[in-house]
């Protein structure tokens, strides 16, 4: 007898590859698949391989450690790591042929020092802050950064391979900030090109911009969440030809009949109106099931959606299944593609007042992760 898995996150690698192929085909230009944060909870290395199998031209991650983990797994595709603070081990990144992003003159100086230490040319993406007020040089700082980078490039220490920025409102495709940011970006590109940085690829579009805003595509797009099959606009991913890759499921641990009025879970915030069957599900907020899901989020159990009954605990939550037949070991599905009657991550996001990004990126803890499909298999 094999032991049924208590709780697992099942990831369909073929869906990741197919989503990548759909996006790549739609834009008709290079695509950098974003695999930061453990591939948005899907497993960074398998997700990266599946995205490459689907036609991704490059991979994007936040931090250098993520890039080095991709290299350690044998992945040789271009990788950009963009979240670099002071003192980052850029020499290790350059030695592993990882491209890094620079936000400021001090960052450029660190990259030059790392290039000398590693004995290599640093391949850099210069980031301009076009209005998100997060990473990137402000338009005021940009000319000095570009001039310093052009000097370092002339000296052979760096090669500027990217000019890039990030949108604040791509998920609201008609928002006026989009046009303003594109305008600032285009001006920044002109300044960089006039300074001699003519070989760089321009990239601006995240998933929402990749599906909805062709004028933001420039020389490469940079989708993350859409690669995993979630609609960046918060609607039905099938509209964009996308299919969610993640299914989150668990086995019922225990069932019991309780009388009307029984207080359920901590604080007794739920009580059934009549005698009923409760099912205890062995996952909780330590596993990434938000505590806010108590009395709000839907779960597929015994063929129907049930709202979680009472509070989500650290390790478990409870369902009220009425008089339906549920036994220990039965499968319950928190979210998945929705094609088998289960709720979607979007429905969960709506129920707990967050975005699906946060749900998939945080699910983990004691969930086992299982990859299915063959895309990118080694």
Q: How many residues bind ligand PLP (CB under 6 A)?
A: 12
Q: What are 278's strand-pairing partners?
A: 256, 320
- Cβ 47 to ligand PLP shortest distance, Å: 12
Of 220, 225, 212, the residue nearest 125 (C-alpha):
220
Determine contact, residues 5/366, Cβ cutoff 8 Å.
no
What is the x/- site pattern for ligand PLP, positions 233-272, by CB under 6 A? Answer: ----------------------------------------
36 is catalytic: yes
What is the x/- site pattern for ligand PLP, positions 312-351, by CB under 6 A? Answer: ----------------------------------------
- Cβ 171 to ligand PLP shortest distance, Å: 8
Strands 298-301 and 304-309, by their bridges, are: antiparallel
Q: Under rule CB under 6 A, which residues in 57-116 are in contact with ligand PLP?
A: 82
Give me the sheet containing 58-61, strands edge to edge: 32-34, 58-61, 79-81, 99-102, 122-127, 158-164, 201-205, 220-221
Does the footprint of ligand PLP cover residue 298 (CB under 6 A)?
Answer: no
127 is catalytic: no
Structure tokens at 198: 């003519």
Of 298, 299, 227, 238, the residue nearest 37 (C-alpha):
227
Could you give the CA distance from residue 284 to residue 40 in angstroms, rounded to a whole number?
19
- Cβ 247 to ligand PLP shortest distance, Å: 19
- Cβ 237 to ligand PLP shortest distance, Å: 13
Q: What are 101's strand-pairing partners?
A: 125
Pick the catalytic residue from 127, 169, 266, 285. 266
What is the x/- site pattern for ligand PLP, positions 155-174, by CB under 6 A? Answer: -----------x--------
- Cβ 101 to ligand PLP shortest distance, Å: 8
Strands 220-221 and 317-322, by their bridges, are: unpaired
Backbone region of residue 67 per phi and psi (left: phi > 0; alpha: psi in -120 to 50; beta: other values): alpha
Closest residue to ligand PLP, based on beta-carbon distance: 224
Task: Choose the binding region for ligand PLP from 225-233, 310-318, 328-336, 370-378 (rule: CB under 6 A).
Answer: 225-233
Q: Which of 136, 224, 272, 343 binds ligand PLP (CB under 6 A)?
A: 224
What is the x/- site pattern for ligand PLP, positions 188-207, by CB under 6 A? Answer: ------------------xx
Determine contact, residues 334/301, Cβ cutoff 8 Å.
no
Determine contact, residues 254/294, Cβ cutoff 8 Å.
no
Could you give the CA distance from residue 106 to residue 49 in angstroms, rounded to a whole number?
34
Q: Decide whether 166 or 371 has the Cβ nearer to ligand PLP.
A: 166
Q: Decide whether 206 or 249 has the Cβ nearer to ligand PLP.
A: 206
Q: Which residues are catalytic?
A: 36, 266
The footprint of ligand PLP (CB under 6 A) covers 34, 36, 82, 166, 206-207, 222-226, 232
């Amino acid at each position: 007898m094999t032991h049924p898995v208590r709780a697992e996150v099942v990831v369909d690698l073929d869906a990741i590859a197919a989503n990548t192929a759909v996006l790549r085909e739609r834009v008709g230009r290079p695509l950098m698949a974003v695999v930061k944060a453990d591939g948005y909870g899907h497993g960074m290395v398998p997700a990266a391989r599946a995205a490459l199998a689907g036609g991704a031209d490059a991979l994007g991650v936040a931090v250098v450690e993520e890039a080095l983990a991709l290299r350690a797994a044998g992945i040789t595709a271009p990788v950009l790591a963009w979240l670099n603070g002071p003192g980052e081990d850029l020499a290790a990144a350059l030695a592993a042929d990882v491209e890094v992003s620079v936000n400021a003159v001090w960052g450029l100086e660190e990259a030059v020092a790392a290039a000398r230490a590693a004995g290599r040319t640093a391949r850099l993406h210069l980031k301009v802050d076009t209005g998100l007020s997060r990473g990137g040089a402000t338009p005021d700082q940009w000319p000095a950064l570009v001039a310093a980078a052009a000097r370092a490039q002339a000296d052979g220490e760096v090669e500027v391979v990217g000019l890039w920025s990030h949108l604040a409102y791509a998920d609201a495709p008609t928002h006026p900030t989009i046009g303003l940011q594109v305008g600032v970006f285009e001006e920044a590109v002109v300044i960089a090109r006039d300074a001699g940085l003519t070989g760089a690829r321009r990239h601006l579009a995240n998933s929402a911009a990749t599906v909805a805003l062709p004028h933001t595509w420039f020389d490469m797009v940079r989708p993350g969440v859409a690669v995993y099959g979630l609609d960046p606009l918060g609607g039905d991913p099938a509209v964009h030809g996308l299919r969610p890759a993640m299914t989150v499921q668990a086995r019922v641990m225990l069932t019991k009949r309780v009388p009307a009025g029984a207080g359920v879970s901590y604080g007794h915030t739920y009580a059934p109106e009549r005698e009923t069957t409760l099912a205890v599900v062995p996952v909780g907020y330590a596993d990434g099931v938000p505590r806010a899901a108590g009395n709000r989020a839907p779960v597929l159990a015994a063929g129907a959606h049930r709202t979680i009954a009472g509070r989500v605990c650290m390790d478990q939550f409870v369902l009220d299944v009425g008089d339906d037949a549920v036994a220990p070991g039965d499968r319950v599905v928190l979210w998945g593609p929705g094609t088998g009657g289960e709720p979607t991550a979007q429905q969960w996001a709506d129920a707990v007042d967050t975005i699906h990004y946060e749900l998939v990126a945080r699910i983990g803890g004691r969930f086992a992760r299982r990859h299915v499909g063959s895309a990118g298999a080694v």
